[in-house]
Amino acid sequence: MYEGSYLNRLWKKPPLEVFISIYVFNVTNPVAFMRGEERLRVQEIGPYVYQEFLEHRNSTFNQNGTLSFVPVRRQVFVPERSVGDPKQDRIMIPNIALLVAAALKPLGMSPILNITTHDLLWGYDDPLKSSRQS
């Protein structure tokens, strides 16, 4: 493989269709669970489908015969293959950080969070984490 070759162009931007299907679990009985009346019940929701695009950037053929590059992955939501909109669909999930740190109950936080599926998949601001940084 060398710079500008057909193989190099294919490698830099592979013409593959890669789809990622993600399923999440929604807590269906948070109030009864918190009262200790029931065991935790969950419902599987999905798929939320993303197409992943891979690109190899800043490729350099080094004098020692090696190749240096930066892989860049990008995910694009595919609504027509998904059950809903992850930025709008709200789910109830255990607040793991708070469950682990049960001694922090005086902060008034709940062990169940109500967040969007998108936030679960790609990150959200956790109040417990924020309180530790201040």
Q: How many helices (H) and strands (E) does the chain have?
A: 5, 5
What letter represents residue 48's amino acid? Answer: Y
Q: Is the pTM of this model over 0.85?
A: no
pLDDT score for 113:
83
In 3D space, the residue among 52, 56, 58 whose CA is nearest the CA of residue 16 turns out to be: 52
CA distance 19 to 42: 25
Contact 124, 115 (CB under 8 A): yes
Please say if the pLDDT value at position 134 is more than 60: no
Q: What are the pLDDT digits (tens) for 82-133? A: 999 999 999 999 888 777 666 556 666 677 788 999 999 999 887 666 655 5
Contact 131, 32 (CB under 8 A): no
SS3 state of residue 32: helix
